[in-house]
Structure 1
Amino acid sequence: MNKNTRLDLLQIFRYFTGIAMIYFAVMVTLTAIQTGEGDSLTQVQAYVNFGTNLILLIYLSIPWLWRKMRRLYLPTALVYATVVPIFSNLIYLADPYENIWNIITRSWFLLPILMVPIVLIAWQYKFRYVVLIVIFSTYVELFVLIPHINKVNVDALLILGGPLIRAFSFGTIGLIVNRLVAIQQTQRKALILANIRLSEHTQTLEELATSRERNRISRELHDTLAHTLSGQAVNLEAIKLMIPSDHYEVHEMLEQSLSNTRAGLAETRRALKALRSQQLDDLGLCMAIENLATDAASRGDFKLDINITNHLPELTPDIEQTIFRIAQESMENIIRHADAKNVEITLETDNHHLLFIISDDGEGFDIGTLNIDDKLGIRGMRERAALVRGEFSILSNPGEGTTIRLLIPIHWGLNKEA
């Protein structure tokens, strides 16, 4: 039961007990005025019901009891509001000489008193609890009514028919309320699911727009910066051929410039390729990571061990992007800084988490080094992990290699449309 529903239900319950308390107080007063007595059976029953509703009103108006009793708070009130009126009605039925019409009238008197608790039980709990209350109230009343039946006739039918018809009425109303609540809950869940899918669709559209913009920037950089660097490298090669070979210093400077230009061109092409990240869309996460790692291993000259489970769940695009980008950044760090001989990549899942690990046996570093996040892009990896509610950690020591670990709750990473 959510908080708003509980507050609505308790408010309705308080209104009912307050109105019932006023009703029984008026009944006691009017009966005393008319009869001049204060201890008749009618007044005794009214006293009991007045006291019951007064206690309920006080009970339902104390928030401390709600916080203290938690789940027992409402059931206790409902049981009390149901059981006490049933037994208070037996005050009449216990007299074997009671007039039959008083018996019938008092039997139907329970209908409005028990109606609200029955509706609240059907609203909040399963239908079987309604059935239990109906059976209990009917059994208790019939158990006391049967001694009043001397023979099977119309009077007996009237006496026994009241509790049975009332039980059928309670059961029918309880069933209708319970079904309506179930339908409402189903519709609410469907609405929540629709909102989630709409949100995911909106996110997908945003990612598509972002991807298109990235591709546009990639094309423009390729047509400008990459072509410029490529042309610059060709010009430097031509200049190098035109200068006599005995100009050693000039040749050395040209060679350095040419090397820097080629490195810049290679890095630009790598950045453009990463900017587009088409392989993730075309190949899927597993194949994209394998291709990325294989390419990095050939450039970094290290041995590669890839362990990717064959039964990954369908993941949302943001999860896949996060894992791929962290893998991409980690591979570049290994190539540039680690001087590793062996690299191991693990991507696996259990019933609760998705685990991604990249470890190497390279030089490692001191995690306490200042600005290490900025230097190795670790800050960006942490931020990407946080966006998908993942836990990012890094373990490294000088000379002992580095381990990157990403842990994502599997209920968050699942693609709900899959």
Structure 2
Amino acid sequence: MTQTITRLNSSDSDFQAQLKKLLAFEESSDHEVHQRVLDIIANVRKNGDQAVLEYTNQFDQCSLSKASELEFSQEQLKSAWDNLPKDKADALQTAANRVRAYAEKQKMESWQYTEADGTVLGQKITPLDRAGLYVPGGKAAYPSSVLMNAIPAKVAGVRELIMVVPTPKGITNSLVLAAAHLAGVDRAFAIGGAQAVAALAYGTETIPAVEKIVGPGNIYVATAKKLVFGQVGIDMIAGPSEILIICDGKTNPDWIAMDLFSQAEHDEDAQAILLSDDADFLDAVALSIDKLLPEMERADIIKASLSGRGALIKVESLEHAAEVSNSIAPEHLELSVEDPEALCEQIRNAGAIFMGRYTAEALGDYCAGPNHVLPTSGTARFSSPLGVYDFQKRSSLIFCSAEGANTLGKTASILARGESLTAHARSAEYRLK
């Protein structure tokens, strides 16, 4: 039987310890990277465009002489869209339409209500003024990420969306630029790395400061986002990609093996796990893995991911599978079972839930509609997918009538004096009848 992927059994006495070891992942805390990023941020804050230009020329092997050369024109973005082959343009348009339709359902609305004494309480929803979108560049080009990050921001009503994307050796990706045009990106700059994050956070002479930075990147980008948090908001610090599949043994094992591959191919640290109450099915999937792996372009990466962090796990029942899944809190969860709606009722922690045998996780990555920016590393226990709500703010509304000020003022006065905050108390007392 295959040695490509770990086999576990939930009935083993040390299963929890084995599972904990399997899930353990801590990105190396490289003090040198941390210090380098701190230095880059400080330089960009002090020297603005000049620092960004120097880092871009150094890291991306460019030879730009002035900051204005860093910006893509709207004509460039439109030209990229206009010159796309029809099949790619149609696919991007379909994905964009579906992402936008889903995002429209997420918009939070302002509300208020009036109490008996005329006091009005409520909530006011406003969009962020400006958001920054980081898009990986070079060999790793993700037009789907442009759509997933930009469209919810636009639906939320963000006034200005600023995109940054590195262009190593000056090479641009037409799909990324076309997606930016399609999604309504207002300004786009050919910069990347920690310097791009710093520029978005603090602003330069050319690059405007934003209120929130979203989008994936390498360790330098992730570290920079951590360090500028507080100056700006960020979406999340994403870990390696994850998929967890619960299957009742009645789905084609080749389908399941390929679904596992779909996340394992991201990188060697990605995690792909299958839970089933059917031991024979786990054997069948193991055989499918061995059969299909040699066909894959990224076979070495998939094999490293599956052998290092993947697992086929025998569980006692589908109910128990749900319990194990909740403890893992996966980024992507496939419920490849006869009655996924019933099983879904037992799921509490997951970034995105793919229901039924025909719902491949890959559909969610590109065009189903819900966002593919999802919580990883167990953070689905307390966080949610990126959405329109990440680009909207809530403000509380309090509008007291004279009668309301009299009633509430008495209560506030008592509580304030109990905390020895006399000015608070007197402020409320001035308005008493």
The TM-score bracket by the shorter chain reads under 0.3
Greater RCO, CA 8 A, separation 6+ = 2
Higher strand share: 2
- Give TM-score scaled by structure 2 length: 0.18
Larger Cα-atom Rg:
1
Higher helix share: 1
